[in-house]
């Protein structure tokens, strides 16, 4: 069953040229989707409009149905209630979205309290469990740290732990590892996808790395100048790309064989 459906979605900022231009696709529950494309091709705009998070300067047309709700017409109140439990987001740089002068544990608790009616001890237990799930082992030290005391990789893992803590059905991840060392990137993405598979969560991952997309995805979408120029199963997109642009992205990665569909 489709949990998300976009029909002829276009978005423009300040009356300018379309940042997203007539995009349509649908996503089934449990799928791992990657959106690939160069900087400025409209990937972040697309993720933001899926959750109704566009700035006031943006105008969106078309229809976005998420869990049966029309996101472009939903009240802010309803949208806020959907966030966290149904849809959660991971950003490129979790540190930028955290309060620099509050300890990680306090911020984690603050997020959980918005949604859960549990005791302090129960919340702390959930925080510890989630941090262990993302392979942060000295969890009490992490909870007592300020964001700047953690490495970039640790902060992204905290961001993933927080985003997954309410078991969202859909996770939107906007270049969640592009601020990390290349060696850490693949590992963190692979763990993220494995966690989502265990939870049965659907994930839409924005990445400019076609290699990562090829490794982890069920489906790949390629964006160029606001248009979705390619959409299909990862296998089809990799083996039979329709667009010259997709071919150029693919030529940048090493030869693939079946073993490299790691998480599938
Ligand atoms: N808040 C904004 N105000 C005005 N223009 C924006 C805003 N955000 C993005 N854009 C423009 O929309 C286009 C798509 O941007 P974006 O969605 O951020 O692409 P991507 O995530 O693929 O890099 C770009 O031309 C960008 O300059
Ligand atoms: Mg972006």
- Ligand 1: which of 38, 41, 44, 45 to mutate, judged by most atoms within 8 Å of the beta carbon? 45
Residue 77's pLDDT is 87
Q: Is residue 57 in contact with ligand 1, taking CB distance under 6 Å?
A: yes
With CA atoms as reference, report the closest residue to 47 among 20, 70, 22: 20
Residue 254's pLDDT is 57
Q: Is residue 177 in contact with ligand 1, taking CB distance under 6 Å?
A: no
Residue 95's pLDDT is 83
Residue 96's pLDDT is 82
Q: What is the DSSP letter of 117?
A: -
Q: Rg of the Cα trace of the chain? A: 18
Whether residue 255 contacts residue 249, with contact meaning beta carbons closer than 8 Å, is answered with no
- Ligand 1: which of 39, 40, 207 to mutate, judged by most atoms within 8 Å of the beta carbon? 40
**What's the pTM value of the predicted model, to 2 decimals?**
0.90
Ligand closest to 45 (CA) is 1
Cβ neighbours for 206, distance < 8 A, ≥ 6 positions apart: 34, 35, 43, 44, 47, 172, 173, 174, 175
Ligand closest to 173 (CA) is 2
Q: Is residue 40 in contact with ligand 1, taking CB distance under 6 Å?
A: yes
- φ/ψ region of 169 (left if φ > 0, alpha if ψ in -120 to 50, else beta) reads alpha
Residue 212's pLDDT is 85
Q: Exposure pattern of 1-11 as b/e (b: 16+ CB <10 Å)?
A: eebbebeebbb
Strand pairing report for 58-66 and 32-36: unpaired
Q: Whose CA is nearest to atom 20 of ligand 1?
A: 40
Residue 7's pLDDT is 98
CA 143 to chain centre: 23
- Architecture label for domain 28-58+76-86+170-264: 3-Layer(aba) Sandwich (3.40)
Instruction: With a cut of 70, list the residues of the chain below it in pLDDT.
Output: 254-264
Q: Where are the domains of the chain?
A: 28-58+76-86+170-264, 98-167
**pLDDT tens column, 149-206:** 999 889 999 999 999 999 999 999 999 988 888 778 888 888 899 999 998 999 999 9
| Atom of ligand 1 lying closest to residue 17 CA | 25
Whether residue 61 contacts residue 9, with contact meaning beta carbons closer than 8 Å, is answered with yes
Distance CA 118, CA 46 (A): 34
């Amino acid at each position: 069953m489709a949990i998300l459906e976009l029909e002829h979605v276009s978005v423009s900022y300040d009356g300018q040229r379309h940042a997203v231009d007539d995009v349509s696709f649908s996503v089934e529950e449990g799928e791992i989707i990657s959106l690939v494309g160069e900087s400025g091709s409209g990937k972040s705009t697309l993720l933001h409009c899926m959750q109704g998070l566009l700035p006031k300067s943006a105008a969106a047309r078309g229809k976005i149905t998420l869990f049966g709700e029309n996101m472009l017409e939903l009240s802010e109140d309803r949208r806020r209630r959907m966030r966290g439990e149904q849809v959660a987001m991971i950003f490129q740089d979790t540190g930028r979205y955290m309060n620099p002068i509050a300890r990680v544990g306090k911020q984690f608790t603050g997020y959980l309290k918005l949604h859960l009616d549990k005791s302090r001890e129960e919340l702390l237990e959930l925080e510890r469990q989630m941090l262990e799930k993302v392979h942060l082992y000295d969890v009490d030290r992490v909870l007592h740290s300020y964001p700047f005391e953690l490495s970039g990789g640790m902060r992204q893992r905290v961001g993933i732990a927080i985003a997954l803590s309410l078991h969202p059905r859909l996770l939107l991840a906007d270049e969640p590892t592009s601020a990390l060392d290349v060696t850490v990137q693949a590992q963190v993405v692979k763990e993220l996808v494995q966690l989502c598979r265990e939870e049965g969560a659907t994930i839409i991952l924005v990445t400019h790395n076609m290699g990562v997309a090829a490794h982890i995805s069920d489906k790949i979408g390629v964006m160029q100048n606001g248009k979705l120029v390619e959409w299909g199963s990862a296998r089809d997109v990799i083996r039979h790309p329709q667009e010259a642009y997709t071919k150029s992205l693919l030529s940048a990665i090493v030869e693939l064989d079946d073993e490299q569909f790691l998480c599938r």
